[in-house]
Amino acid sequence: MRTEQDVEAFLLRYKKTFTTLDGAPPTYWLSPGEGLPNVAVRVDAPIVIVRAEIGELERPDNVKLLTRLLELNAQALMHSAYGLEGQRIVLAAALELENLDYNELVAVLDEIEVALAREARELHSLNGH
């Protein structure tokens, strides 16, 4: 069975800079690039959560933004999904820790990084920023 040490070893092998946050469950912060939201990788057995906060939802009735999030989920994402957590717009994925392998984690991290680079500015604009 995989552990948090395996996830950290995968992140070291991924060769992206990350910071380990103190506390439990173990959480790692990755920076995909300047001006883009950080990506959190949290090991909370039995799952690993990968998550980036896009921002606060300015208007809950913003049909253009909400429609675009659903379109992106259907057209552009395979391993992760946009969603709302309260009033926060997030991009997230959950992986089973028990069978996690390096390629699976990298696929999720790469997809989230590409999505942030490609879509974050558009989503901020649709959100009124």
**What CATH number has the domain bearing residue 88?**
3.30.1460.10
Read off the pTM: 0.92
**pLDDT value of position 51:** 97
What band does 129 get if pLDDT is binned at 50, 70 and 90?
confident
Number of domains in the chain: 1
Task: Determine the average pLDDT of the residues in 82-87.
Answer: 96
Residue 24 region by backbone torsions, left for phi larger than 0, else alpha for psi between -120 and 50, else beta: beta
Task: Determine the average pLDDT of the residues in 98-119.
Answer: 96
pLDDT reading at 91 higher than 90: yes
What band does 70 get if pLDDT is binned at 50, 70 and 90?
very high
Q: Write out the residue range of the structural domain in which residue 69 sits.
A: 4-126
Give the total residue count for the chain: 129
**pLDDT value of position 90:** 98
Cβ partners under 8 Å of residue 44, min gap 6: 25
CA neighbor of 78 nearest in space, from 31, 49, 114: 114
What band does 106 get if pLDDT is binned at 50, 70 and 90?
very high
Task: List, in sequence order, every beta strand (DSSP E) within the chain.
Answer: 18-21, 27-30, 39-44, 47-56, 81-85, 88-96
Determine the residue type at 7. V
Determine the residue type at 70. L
Residue 62 region by backbone torsions, left for phi larger than 0, else alpha for psi between -120 and 50, else beta: beta
